[in-house]
């Protein structure tokens, strides 16, 4: 496809779909290898941290924190299972997702449904609230009273978003099928079944090792993984030139491609994060296995250059808080106050 000057014109989001479909088929052998390459070191580090308790609590804690990176990768595999992108056998895939959900403290069916809602409505200002980071427009913020503005400011504060929030989300909120409480037994079964397995696992840990393995290994590993996961999810959509629109202006595929970043990470961070930084491709075609996402940007320079976000640039996104509909970008509280005279 070329423009009037004879040069290649950028493809539309819809045009990319048929191209990306070529990458959708998972390899069973490769998927099982990735599963083993994640679970074996994760379990080995758990055992090593437990053994280290007899030497030094601090050594055990250090190993547990390192293991948080492997738990992030466990979540990425569960994530691919939820998208039907990990194994060709759907039943086996769902059972892998359910089992991994016990490790990630995330009930599989509940998360799969809420995440599907996120994919179906990302960037749609008319459908917010499930599976996304709460984002107000400038006008919505203006319409709030002082207390409402204070609550939103607290919610968007880095300490809440990236320190308190992740632990609350994975340790507490995931214990109930919030957002799906009235949508049938399946989600309650998923949440309560996951809770029961977590309870059994913790009971066994306490039976054999007391509280120290829970306090020094289980909780730190879970908290560091949750924190990393929430940060990754945040930067995937909360960047200045992201995409939000409403009504007839919102289009699913445009929002998927333009509203998701390409978070450029060095190795081994790409490995531990399961290439989820290539998020614009994932959102446009979620059936692509995580280990095939690098193939896409290797083969298509246009996608490799789209929505690039470096680590340095990502750190600056924490200063963005409101969607400015007039400017079509995320902006900070300070800039919105200066531009629109918000009191």
Predicted model pTM: 0.94
Domain that holds residue 215: 22-340
Helix (H, G, I), strand (E, B) or coil at 226: helix
The answer as to whether 195 is a domain residue is yes
152 touches 336 (CB < 8 A):
no
Q: Are 76 and 274 in contact (CB under 8 A)?
A: yes
| CA 53/CA 74 separation, integer angstroms | 24
For the chain, what percent of residues have pLDDT higher than 70?
A: 97
Contacts of 332 (CB under 8 A, 6+ apart): 319, 320, 321, 322
Q: Answer yes or no: are the C-beta atoms of 64 and 89 closer than 8 Å.
A: no
Question: Using CA atoms, how far apart are residues 263 and 231, in angstroms rounded to an integer?
Answer: 11
| 7 lies in some domain | no
At residue 130 the predicted structure's pLDDT band, cuts being 50, 70 and 90, is confident
Residue 1 above 90 pLDDT? no
- Assigned token pair, 105: 């403290």
Q: Which residue has the tokens 């970043």?
A: 261
What are 169-217's pLDDT values in tens digits?
Answer: 999 999 999 989 999 999 999 999 999 999 999 999 999 999 999 999 9
What span, in angstroms and rounded, lies between the C-alpha atoms of 340 and 294? 42
Q: Confirm whether 120 is domain-assigned.
A: yes
Which pLDDT band holds residue 3 (cuts at 50, 70, 90)? Answer: very low
Query: Residue 38 falls within a domain, yes or no?
Result: yes
Q: In total, how many domains does the chain have?
A: 1
Residue 194 within a domain: yes
Percent of the chain scoring above 90 in pLDDT: 92
> Any idea of the CA torsion for 153, 238, 268, 24, to the nearest 10 degrees?
140
The candidate with the shortest Cα–Cα distance to 193, out of 206, 180, 177, 205, is 177
The pLDDT value given to residue 341 = 85
Question: Residue 142: how many CB atoms within 10 A of its CB?
Answer: 15
C-beta contacts of 37-41 below 8 A and 24+ residues apart = 38/70, 38/73, 38/74, 38/77, 39/74, 41/70
- Domain for residue 142, yes or no? yes
6 inside domain: no
The pLDDT tens digits for 255-273 are: 999 999 999 999 999 999 9
10 part of a folded domain: no
The Cα–Cα gap between 94 and 302 comes to 34
Q: What Cα–Cα distance (Å) separates residue 45 from each residue in 72, 92, 202, 326?
A: 14, 26, 17, 50
């Amino acid at each position: 496809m070329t423009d009037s000057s004879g040069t290649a014109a950028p493809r539309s989001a819809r045009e990319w779909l048929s191209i990306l479909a070529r990458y959708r088929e998972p390899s069973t052998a490769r998927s099982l290898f990735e599963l083993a390459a994640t679970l074996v070191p994760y379990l080995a580090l758990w055992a090593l941290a437990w053994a280290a308790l007899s030497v030094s609590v601090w050594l055990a804690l250090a190993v547990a924190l390192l293991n948080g990176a492997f738990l992030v990768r466990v979540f990425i595999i569960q994530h691919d299972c939820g998208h039907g992108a990990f194994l060709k056998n759907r039943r086996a895939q769902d059972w892998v997702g359910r089992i991994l959900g016990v490790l990630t403290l995330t009930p599989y069916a509940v998360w799969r449904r809420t995440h599907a809602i996120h994919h179906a409505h990302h960037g749609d200002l008319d459908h917010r609230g499930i599976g996304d980071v709460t984002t107000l427009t400038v006008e919505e913020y203006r319409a709030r009273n002082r207390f409402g503005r204070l609550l939103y400011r607290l919610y968007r504060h880095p300490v809440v978003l990236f320190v308190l929030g992740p632990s609350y989300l994975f340790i507490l909120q995931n214990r109930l099928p919030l957002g799906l409480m009235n949508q049938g037994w399946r989600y309650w079964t998923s949440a309560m079944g996951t809770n029961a397995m977590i309870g059994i696992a913790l009971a066994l840990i306490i039976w054999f090792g007391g509280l120290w393995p829970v306090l020094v290994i289980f909780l730190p590993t879970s908290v560091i993984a949750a924190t990393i996961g929430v940060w990754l999810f945040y930067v995937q959509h909360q960047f200045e030139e992201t995409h939000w629109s409403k009504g007839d202006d919102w289009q699913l595929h445009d929002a998927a491609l333009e509203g998701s970043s390409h978070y450029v990470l060095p190795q081994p961070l790409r490995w531990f994060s399961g290439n989820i930084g290539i998020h614009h491709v994932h959102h446009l075609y979620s059936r692509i296995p995580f280990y095939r996402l690098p193939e896409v940007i290797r083969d298509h320079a246009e996608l490799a250059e789209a929505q690039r976000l470096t680590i340095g640039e990502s750190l600056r996104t924490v200063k963005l808080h409101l969607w400015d509909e007039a400017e079509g970008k995320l902006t900070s509280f300070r800039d919105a106050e200066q531009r629109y005279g918000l009191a």
